[in-house]
Amino acid sequence: MQGLDIRRTLSLALPIMAGQVGQMVIALTDTVMVGRLGTVELAAASFANSVTSIFLLFGVGLVSAVSVRASRAHGAGDREESGQILRHGLVLSSGIGAGVAAVVSLSAPLLFFLGQPAEVVQTSLPFFYWIAWSLPAAFATIALRNYAEAHSKPWVPFWILMASVALNVLLNWMLIFGNLGAPKMGLDGAGLATWIARGAGLLVLLVWVLREPLFRDHLPEKWWGGWQQTHFQDLLSVGMPVGAQIVGEAGAFSVAGLMMGWLGSVPLAAHQIALTCAATTFMFPHGLSIALTIRIGQCLGRREHGRIAGIVKGAFVMAAAIMLCFTAAYIGFGEPLARCFSIDEAVVKQAMQLLVVVGLFQFFDGMQVMAVGALRGFGDVRVVMLVAVGTYFGMSLPLGWWLGFREGMGPLGVWGALALGLVLVAALLGWRLTTRIPKSGGVCQRE
pLDDT at 1: 40
What local confidence, expressed as pLDDT, does residue 429 receive?
Answer: 95
**Which segments of 186-307 does DSSP mark as H helices, in order?**
187-211, 229-263, 265-302
Q: Do 139 and 96 form a contact (C-beta atoms < 8 A)? A: yes
Provide the CA 115 distance to its chain's centre, in angstroms: 26
Eight-state DSSP code of residue 268:
H
Please report the pLDDT score of residue 315 as a whole number: 92
H-helix or E-strand containing 182?
Answer: none
Give the integer Cα–Cα distance in Å for 120 and 117: 5
Buried b (16+ CB within 10 A) or exposed e, 65-100: bbbbbbbbbbbbebeebbbbbbbbbbbbbbebbbeb
CB of 31 closer than 8 Å to CB of 42:
yes
Please calculate the CA angle 116-118-124 and round it to the nearest 5 degrees. Answer: 80
- Write down the pLDDT at residue 447: 35
Whole-number pLDDT of residue 110: 83
Q: Which of 65, 14, 6, 76 is nearest to 298 (CA)?
A: 76
Question: CB-based contacts of 434: which residues, under 8 Å, 6+ apart?
Answer: none
Give pLDDT, residue 441.
44
Counting Cα atoms < 13 Å in the Cβ hemisphere of 304 gives 13
Give mean pLDDT in consecutive 10-residue pieces for the chain, a chain of 447 residues: 71 83 68 80 81 81 86 82 87 91 87 81 88 92 90 89 90 92 90 93 94 80 77 88 83 82 85 86 89 89 83 93 94 90 87 92 94 91 91 93 90 92 94 76 39
Q: Which amino acid is at 371?
A: A
